[in-house]
Chain A
Amino acid sequence: MANEVLTGAQAIVRSLELLGVTDIFGLPGGAILPTYDPLMDSTKIRHILVRHEQGAGHAAEGYASASGKLGVCIATSGPGATNLVTAIADAHMDSVPLLAITGQVNSTSIGTDAFQEADIVGITMPITKHSFLVTKAEDIPAVLASAVLIATTGRPGPVLVDIAKDAQNGKAEFIWPPKIDLPGYKPVTKPHGKQIQAAAQLIKDAKRPVLYVGGGIVRAGAHLELLELAKIIGAPVVTTLMARGAYPDSDEQNLGMPGMHGTVPAVTALQRSDLLITLGARFDDRVTGQVKTFAVGAKVIHVDIDPAEIGKIRFADVPIVGDAKEVITELNTELKADLKGNKPDIAEWWAFLNDLRTRYPLGYTQPDDGKMSPQFVISRIGELSGPEAIFAAGVGQHQMWSAQFIKYERPNSWLNSGGAGTMGYAVPAAMGAKVAQPERLVWAIDGDGCFQMTNQELATCTINNIPIKVAIINNSSLGMVRQWQTLFYNSRYSNTDLNTGTDTIMVPDFVKLAEAYGCLGIRVEKEEDVDAAIKLAMETNDRPVVIDFIVGRDAMVWPMVPAGLSNDAVQFAKDERPVWEEGEEE
């Protein structure tokens, strides 16, 4: 039988259906119009019309990060495509499997500065895993299949497919499955056996080992293997910002988050370690602080699916390229055979760390201005919502407090913009997460600054029945910037006042804004009202909910390692540095 002849536009929709795509976030425009026509008839794909393309990008990221599936966003040429750029960059930094489809002007007009023409392939080259420009209808199935393969395998990442309008309008036989021809793409997933043995040997010999766990564990779905490994060797675990939830916070071996705003035990564990068992982490500057003074006494086992991460920042004594799940499985088998149920003796190490844990627990003080403490609000959201919920944060103080004060028990429950630090991520990401996992409670924990960057997606949520909960941690300022101004710029608050607090002119009034978008708006100013508001939000599922939590603006994120300094300079409160050993003096 002859193959069916489809237009390029129909081929796009059909290919996506066959690739298992069920949800797309996007906004139409001239150069993508042909594709929106058959999209209207698809019974397999739900298209959610966003209010800004950046929202589509972050929604697709939230969708992917909450479910582990591919996220898909679509936009028109020119400004539609450039509005996706921030989200694509974000997905690139955090290894999110993302497919971005953009319309392009007719292939005959490319290069003529045509209306709404932008070289989006060129613009996004540094921030995509790969990109394609399609100018012929017959290339569409193979390109989309290749794009999905690249986005979702190896180290996941964003792939952009730019499709000229005449390719969408052209006709071609639809051949499925298409031939995928990627001779230069061969991700290594299976580790080298000798390296596994070498790693096991280092682990057995270590006196102060630490499992340094990164977001790769979440992306690889290797959390159960990690748990088993941790139990086999009994070593402490630190989970980076991207890895919160990869290892249960309730487990006694979890020391919490390391890095600039990490716990004193987690920061110190890395610093004093003699073996970093690095799993899907990349020695980010926010974790290492000053690199040359980072964990100077430690040997390094570095497991990553991306060979370029190994040795990029820190020399690896045992480099292992592979998929975290496969690597840890093999490592567990090796260690079980070697150790025969015995654990390496690291009692002294634990005594040291447990002492730090007792003396430097995470904590906070009440704000002086009588307003609510943001940490209290965020803690209560976490406690009342429980570990099955999903929490998406923006970027800044509220993000750090959400990483610190919410207890995560499962991977994919914590979504944030870790690498790029994209303000405005929370609302659209929460929206995407709720579409992917409609049965889960989904919170966007946002700042008053972040919220104002992407809150238009509340309209999308209301109209499409995506009942997310938004908690604005409203300190009426760009809080993290303000914190740095307090600490490093003599409290000169240059351009960080946002005037959204109750003692300001309140522009905008977030409750009124929420109501204008058809959401339930609640304002909370007293700590005794916090629980009731959270519960009301959790019970309200016929529309989105926005809670405006008015919090103290001088609250700061602690502990903190000042930027560029050694992790040894960690402060657990302003000008308060830990004493490492009992009786030790500075």
Chain B
Amino acid sequence: MSQHVLSLLVEDRPGLLTRVAGLFARRGFNIESLAVGATEVEGLSRITVVVNVDGLPLEQVTKQLNKLINVIKVVELDAETTVERDHMLIKVRTDAATRSQVLEAVTLFRARVIDVASDALIIEVTGETAKCQAFIKVLEPFGIKELVQSGVLAIGRGSKSITEKVLK
């Protein structure tokens, strides 16, 4: 099995997410990561889904997604021509002794501290999945109290847009 990033251009309609998520569940696909949000076009949303699946079943799920009336377009984004980003907020245990080490890691990973308390820091990090995972590894020894993350966001490189042909 291999990891695939699907980008769905969808109509922003009630129940849309249920239709998409339900389809994955019904056909036996596990969603690794999911990110949903508005696009540059009013009424259209973009869903980025990461799935772990073989090529043939992926083709089937893509076709099934295309059958959903509110799904306008489904594109598989391949790693080489795509920019991908994860976004995480991490609450790390710190004290006077460890704070400077944690701050050093923050600098090295080009992350940012967004909240400070006497016994913890909240750190924001953005980047490719591998970088974010590496950062977590570094922070783990200090004690990660909480971690939240967005799904992977992905967009094709260059000037082309997924919405281009749709709007004509």
Contacts and interface: CB of A to CB of B under 8 A. Distances in A.
A176 B71 CA distance: 26
A184 B10 CA distance: 8
Interface of B: 10-11, 14-15, 18-19, 22, 26, 56, 59-60, 63-64, 66-73, 166
6 contacts: A122-B15, A125-B15, A125-B18, A184-B70, A306-B67, A307-B66
A312 interface: yes
Contact of B56 (A130, A308, A311): A311
Contacts of B22: 125-126
Main secondary structure, interface of B, reads helix
Contact of A125 (B19, B60, B166): B19
A351 B71 CA distance: 51
Contacts of B73: 184
Contacts of B11: 183-184
Interface in A289-348: 306-308, 311-312
A158 to B, nearest CB: 13
A276 interface: no
B15 A184 contact: no
A130 B10 CA distance: 14
A471 interface: no
Interface string A109-137: 00000000000011001100110010000
A125 B71 CA distance: 14
B70 A312 contact: no
A182 interface: yes
Nearest to B25: A126
Given A125-B22, A130-B68, 10 more contacts: A126-B22, A126-B26, A129-B67, A182-B69, A183-B11, A183-B166, A184-B73, A307-B63, A307-B66, A308-B66
A130 B23 CA distance: 13
A184 B60 contact: no
B71 A184 contact: yes
Nearest to A183: B72
Interface of A: 121-122, 125-126, 129-130, 133, 150, 182-185, 306-308, 311-312
B18 A312 contact: no
Nearest to A133: B14
A133 B15 contact: yes
Contacts of A121: 15
A46 B86 CA distance: 58
A317 to B, nearest CB: 15
A126 B69 CA distance: 13
Given A121-B15, A133-B14, A184-B71, A312 B60 contact: yes
Contacts of B15: 121-122, 125, 133
Contact of B68 (A183, A184, A312): A184
A185 B166 CA distance: 12
Nearest to A185: B69
Contacts of A182: 69
A275 B127 CA distance: 51
B63 A184 contact: no
Contacts of A122: 15, 18
A183 B14 CA distance: 16
Contacts of A311: 56, 59-60
B72 A308 contact: no
Contacts of B71: 184
A355 B19 CA distance: 51
Contacts of B70: 184
B54 to A, nearest CB: 13
B36 to A, nearest CB: 16
A65 to B, nearest CB: 22
Contacts of B10: 184
Nearest to B59: A311
Per CB-CB distance, the 8 closest pairs between chain A and chain B, nearest first, are A308-B63, A184-B72, A130-B69, A185-B69, A307-B63, A184-B71, A183-B72, A308-B64
B17 to A, nearest CB: 11
A452 to B, nearest CB: 32
B33 to A, nearest CB: 23
Nearest to B23: A126
Contacts of A125: 15, 18-19, 22
Given A133-B14, A184-B11, A308 B67 contact: yes
A575 to B, nearest CB: 37
Nearest to B74: A184
Nearest to B167: A183
Contacts of A130: 68-69
A307 B11 CA distance: 21
